[in-house]
């Protein structure tokens, strides 16, 4: 990788998708207002700013988006789906490879909702797919209500990865993309790409 930016994941490289690679479907979940749209925007502008076209109607979220991620010299496409567009994803039998469950570290209710979502996925739906718990808005340090330690412990208990981000500051957003892909690959096993 020739990543020259101040990335915290040196051999990872993120860009906007155009071609045919192994494609993984990722469902973004979480309470309203936690920053799902803001994170998705950062995914799209991650390396090649300006490629993403702003919608004329900013409150209409693009339901499906692709991002290429390079990890261990192998590029894959993450295809993001929105829970609002697929509220009944279980009944739809959407083929999914990962769930990203977002909460705001400044909002205990959103955290409790996220934990409940993870518990439902693991205990009720009995999925063993990749789940990434995301604590967003860590820039709001003085408004923090959820301790990193607590979220991390819950994630571990349910075999999820925990990542803290700030969509506002574009902090750890690339790390989140790489984290999603590595969890998916770990889940799928060494034979797949
Ligand atoms: P969604 O409903 O989950 O899609 O949430 P949005 O992405 O629409 O964000 C809700 C509000 O939180 C907006 O005003 C965002 O600007 C704000 N927001 C999103 N991410 C962050 C963040 O990391 N830090 C801060 N301070 N605000 C954020």
User: What percent of the chain shows pLDDT beyond 90?
Assistant: 62
In this prediction, residue 10 carries a pLDDT of 45
Print burial letters for 69-82: b (CB count within 10 Å at least 16), e (below 16): bbbeeebbbbbbbb
Question: What does residue 86 show for φ and ψ, rounded to 5 degrees?
Answer: -135, 60
CB of 58 closer than 6 angstroms to any ligand 1 atom? no
Distance 183 CA to ligand 1 centre (A): 25
Stretch among 53-57, 113-117, 163-167 having the lowest mean pLDDT: 53-57
Residue 35 has pLDDT above 70, yes or no: yes
CB of 136 closer than 6 angstroms to any ligand 1 atom? yes
Residue 154 has pLDDT above 90, yes or no: yes
In this prediction, residue 33 carries a pLDDT of 97
132: confidence class by pLDDT, cuts 50, 70, 90: very high
CB of 101 closer than 6 angstroms to any ligand 1 atom? no
Token pair recorded at residue 68: 């290429």
9: confidence class by pLDDT, cuts 50, 70, 90: very low
In this prediction, residue 14 carries a pLDDT of 60
Closest CA to 43 of 11, 80, 84, 96: 80
In this prediction, residue 76 carries a pLDDT of 92
Residue 97 has pLDDT above 80, yes or no: yes
166, 42 Cβ separation under 8 angstroms: no
Rounded mean pLDDT, 6-12: 47
In this prediction, residue 15 carries a pLDDT of 54
Residue 122 burial (CB count, 10 A): 17
Q: How far apart are CA 137 and CA 143, in angstroms?
A: 9
Q: What is the DSSP string of 65-120?
A: EEEEEEETTEEEEEEEEETTT-TTHHHHT---SEEEEEEETT-HHHHHHHHHHHHI
Report ipTM (2 d.p.): 0.99
Closest CA to 164 of 76, 12, 34: 34
52: confidence class by pLDDT, cuts 50, 70, 90: very low
In this prediction, residue 189 carries a pLDDT of 79
Going by alpha carbons, the residue nearest to atom 11 of ligand 1 is 33
CB of 137 closer than 6 angstroms to any ligand 1 atom? yes
Distance 38 CA to ligand 1 centre (A): 6
Q: How far apart are CA 112 and CA 13, in angstroms?
A: 33
Q: How far apart are CA 5 and CA 132, in angstroms?
A: 25
64, 80 Cβ separation under 8 angstroms: yes
CB of 65 closer than 6 angstroms to any ligand 1 atom? no
Q: What is the DSSP string of 31-55?
A: -TTSSHHHHHHHHHHSSSTT-SPPP
């Amino acid at each position: 990788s020739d990543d020259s930016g101040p990335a915290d994941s040196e051999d990872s490289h993120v860009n906007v998708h155009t071609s045919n690679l192994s494609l993984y479907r990722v469902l973004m979940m979480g309470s309203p207002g936690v920053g799902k749209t803001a994170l998705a925007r950062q995914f799209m502008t991650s390396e090649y700013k300006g490629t993403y076209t702003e919608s004329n109607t900013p409150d209409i979220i693009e339901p499906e988006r692709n991002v290429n991620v390079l990890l261990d010299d192998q590029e894959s496409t993450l295809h993001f789906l929105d829970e609002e567009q697929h509220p009944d994803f279980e009944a739809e039998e959407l083929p999914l490879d990962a769930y990203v469950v977002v909460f705001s570290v400044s909002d205990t209710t959103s955290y409790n909702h996220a934990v409940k979502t993870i518990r439902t996925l693991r205990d009720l739906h009995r999925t063993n797919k990749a789940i990434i718990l995301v604590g967003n808005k860590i820039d709001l340090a003085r408004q923090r209500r959820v301790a990193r330690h607590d979220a991390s412990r819950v994630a571990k208990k349910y075999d999820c990865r925990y990542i803290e981000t700030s969509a506002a500051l574009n902090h750890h957003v690339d790390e989140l993309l790489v984290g999603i892909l590595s969890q998916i690959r770990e889940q799928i096993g060494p034979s797949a790409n």
